[in-house]
Amino acid sequence: MKVLISEDELQQGISKMATEINGQFGEQPLTVICVMTGSIILVADLIRQLTMPVKLGSVHASSYRGDTSRGELELDTSMLPDLNGTNALIVDDIFDTGHTLNAVHNHISRLGAATVQSAVLLYKHGRQELEFDVDFVGFEIPDEFVVGYGLDYQGIYRNLPYVGVLESGDLAAEQENN
């Protein structure tokens, strides 16, 4: 596995993103919406650097079924607080095709949030299928399958403290082990 973004680089990028979010919202209360499960580590690190009053909610969004190809998006929003009139910030691990963030954004907007913005750790180039403007981006990356810092392959690697690229040999070894 090749390290794409080191632990130190991640922390610097998250601090930069937090500074931008603090600048955008000032002291206005903010409801941070964690897109589970991949962004849980990012959200934990990010909200500790936010200076405004923060509420936390989560949605579970899943479109991958055991491999690296996308299936139908499933969205569970039962863990959201009341969003009516709030400033909402959707935080996701990666912007890939755009389908997940677009669906979550549309759903949050329908729930009556006054503003809905988005933040992603990784913006992957070359895979977008929808036009969507992400408000806060930690890192732009090439079109490679990445794991670590919350991102997984078949449920593993989320615990890595860095973002790594799964190479074809890594994938073959994982398939042999399963």
| pLDDT of amino acid 71 | 65
- Which stretches does DSSP call E strand in 49-162? 54-64, 70-79, 87-95, 115-124, 136-141, 146-147
CA atoms within 13 A on the CB side of 41: 20
Q: Which residue has the higher pLDDT, 21 or 64?
A: 21
Q: Reply yes or no on whether 93 is catalytic.
A: no
| pLDDT of amino acid 177 | 64
> Residues 45, 92, 93, 96: which is the catalytic one?
96
Measure CA 113 to chain center: 19
| pLDDT of amino acid 62 | 75
pLDDT, tens digit, 9 for 90 and up, residues 3-38: 999 999 999 999 999 999 999 999 999 999 999 989
What are the chain's domains? 2-177 (3.40.50.2020)
